[in-house]
């Protein structure tokens, strides 16, 4: 193992872990201490055997197989619940067993199910449900989009030249608690396993690849001053986010930054039902007053549900539901936005520390969970103007979504 010291763990190199995965071996992957603070056994699904699966089951966590959307589509795997309220939005799909197994509980049977899941010739009819193997839907783009074990398993298999799917199982200690980092390190030493962190994997991938790519750059004079407008392409997505850059924020110790999700009704039509348009203007004005900063504009309308569904949610709000209840009534999560692309854009612009313009603590959390070398040193409020049309909306954001808004609004 390399001598990368972190919280009593001497981490292996990412490349050595990839090579172990290619040989069909099990590795340990840990995530951030301020995320799940968890260690998981991982191996490639394609290389599943009764031996390595039996060892993985000694972790005593949930036995899962992380796969990409094409596998879920081919096998008709559906979400386990309609409304995913898991803290980190882990995407559990309906558990399955291969039709050839007896009960599906043995190590050999689970290994067979895992291998058959990633066999391109397998179809929906080759599996019974419910079963003993829990499929997990990984995000396209892997840990660069979501810093989870699900995505790490897929990434490591892909990097090993195998089918991008992996077995995942949390590791518990003898008391049934999450194994500590000291315990994980001892486990790796005892069984001669490679052990890496998701942060390492993110850093490794960022050296070789990234999701965002600049495609256009021009000057843009506005009522708030002259900005550079930079357009980006994003792998695995059709939308194109933009960044409005004033001055040279990369030369500031911690410039003002806002990651703003698109709101057609608020930003363009000046709707009074929300605070989005006000926040957009206020953020641009605050950046302008400092002479440097960035506003990243992400196309994720209606907290990620899209414009048409947002208008449907408006209709439900007219009938008495609040903004959270309306989204849920339409079958969506409360907030489906993803800030990983925005963070990558800020990194592409050369920023390392920022003061984040937001009332939403989850945006600051995204910088922590993302695993990127980008630090939020201050969360700067962008307090909206309250009117008769958005007062209840703002109260719901404060009381149900945790936004830091005054209680006397």
Model confidence band, residue 368 (pLDDT cutoffs 50, 70, 90)? low
Kindly report, residue by residue over 302-320, the tens digit of the pLDDT.
888 899 999 999 999 999 9
Q: Catalytic: which of 158, 181, 337, 355?
A: 337
pLDDT recorded at residue 328? 87
Catalytic residue flag (residue 337): yes
Phi then psi for 185, rounded to 5 degrees?
-65, -40
Q: Point out which residues pair with 64 in neighbouring strands.
A: 134, 168
Q: Point out which residues pair with 79 in neighbouring strands.
A: 93
CA separation for the pair 200, 378 (Å, rounded)? 25
Q: Catalytic: which of 267, 275, 278, 335?
A: 335
CA separation for the pair 188, 172 (Å, rounded)? 14
- What is the location of CATH 3.90.870.10 in the chain? 4-207
pLDDT higher than threshold 50 for residue 27: yes
Long-range CB pairs of 227-232, under 8 A, 24+ apart, other chains included = 230/349, 232/341, 232/345, 232/348
- What is the location of CATH 3.40.50.10990 in the chain? 210-300+337-401
Kindly report, residue by residue over 143-154, the tens digit of the pLDDT.
888 889 999 999
Place of tokens 């290619």: 22
pTM reported for the whole predicted model: 0.64
Kindly report, residue by residue over 184-207, the tens digit of the pLDDT.
999 999 999 999 999 899 878 866
How does DSSP assign 249-288, residue by residue?
A: GGGSSS-EEEEEE--IIIIIT--SSSSHHHHHHHHHHHHH
CA separation for the pair 84, 95 (Å, rounded)? 16
Phi then psi for 30, rounded to 5 degrees?
-110, 150
Average pLDDT score over the chain: 90
CATH, domain range 4-207? 3.90.870.10
Contact indicator for 134, 62 with CB cutoff of 8 Å: yes
CA 246 to chain CA centroid, nearest Å: 28
Contact indicator for 167, 43 with CB cutoff of 8 Å: yes
Model confidence band, residue 372 (pLDDT cutoffs 50, 70, 90)? low
Contact indicator for 30, 197 with CB cutoff of 8 Å: yes
Count Cα atoms within 13 angstroms, Cβ side, for 35: 21
At 107 the three-state DSSP class reads: helix
Superfamily of domain 210-300+337-401: GTP cyclohydrolase II (3.40.50.10990)
Q: Which residue intervals of 160-263 are DSSP H helices?
A: 181-191, 198-208
pLDDT higher than threshold 90 for residue 249: yes
Count Cα atoms within 13 angstroms, Cβ side, for 338: 18
Closest CA to 168 of 187, 186, 155: 155
């Amino acid at each position: 193992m390399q001598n990368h010291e972190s919280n009593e763990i001497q981490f292996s190199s990412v490349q050595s872990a990839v090579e172990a995965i290619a040989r069909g071996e099990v590795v340990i992957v840990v995530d951030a201490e301020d995320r799940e603070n968890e260690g998981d056994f991982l191996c490639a699904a394609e290389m599943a055997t009764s031996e390595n699966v039996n060892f993985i089951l000694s972790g005593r966590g949930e036995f899962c197989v992380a796969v990409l959307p094409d596998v879920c589509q081919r096998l008709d795997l559906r979400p386990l619940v309609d409304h995913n309220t898991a803290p980190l939005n882990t995407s559990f799909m309906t558990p399955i067993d291969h039709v050839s197994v007896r009960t599906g509980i043995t190590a050999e049977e689970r290994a067979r199910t895992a291998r058959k899941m990633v066999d391109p010739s397998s179809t929906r009819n080759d599996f019974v449900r419910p079963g003993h193997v829990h499929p997990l839907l990984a995000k396209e783009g892997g840990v660069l989009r979501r810093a989870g074990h699900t995505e790490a398993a897929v990434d490591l298999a892909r990097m090993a030249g195998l089918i991008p799917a992996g077995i995942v199982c949390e590791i518990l200690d003898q008391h049934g608690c999450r194994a500590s980092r000291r315990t994980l390190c001892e486990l790796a030493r005892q069984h001669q396993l490679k052990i890496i962190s998701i942060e390492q994997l993110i850093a490794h991938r960022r050296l070789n690849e990234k999701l965002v790519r600049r495609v256009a750059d021009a000057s843009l004079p506005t009522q708030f001053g002259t900005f550079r407008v930079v357009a980006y392409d994003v792998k695995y997505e059709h939308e194109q986010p933009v960044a409005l850059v004033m001055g040279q924020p990369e030369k500031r110790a911690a410039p003002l930054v806002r990651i703003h999700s698109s709101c057609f009704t608020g930003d363009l039509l000046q709707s009074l039902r929300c605070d989005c348009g006000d926040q957009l203007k206020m953020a641009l004005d605050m950046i302008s007053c400092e002479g440097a900063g960035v506003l990243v504009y992400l196309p994720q309308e209606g907290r990620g549900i899209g414009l048409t569904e947002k208008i449907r949610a408006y209709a439900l709000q007219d009938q008495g539901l609040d903004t959270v209840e309306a989204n849920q009534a339409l079958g969506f999560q409360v907030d489906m936005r993803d800030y990983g692309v925005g963070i990558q854009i800020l990194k592409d612009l050369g920023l390392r520390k920022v003061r984040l313009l937001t009332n939403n603590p989850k945006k600051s959390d995204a910088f922590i969970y993302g695993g990127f070398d980008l630090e939020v040193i201050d969360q700067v409020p962008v307090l909206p103007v309250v009117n008769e049309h958005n007062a209840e909306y703002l109260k719901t954001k404060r009381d149900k979504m945790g936004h830091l808004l005054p209680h006397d609004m």
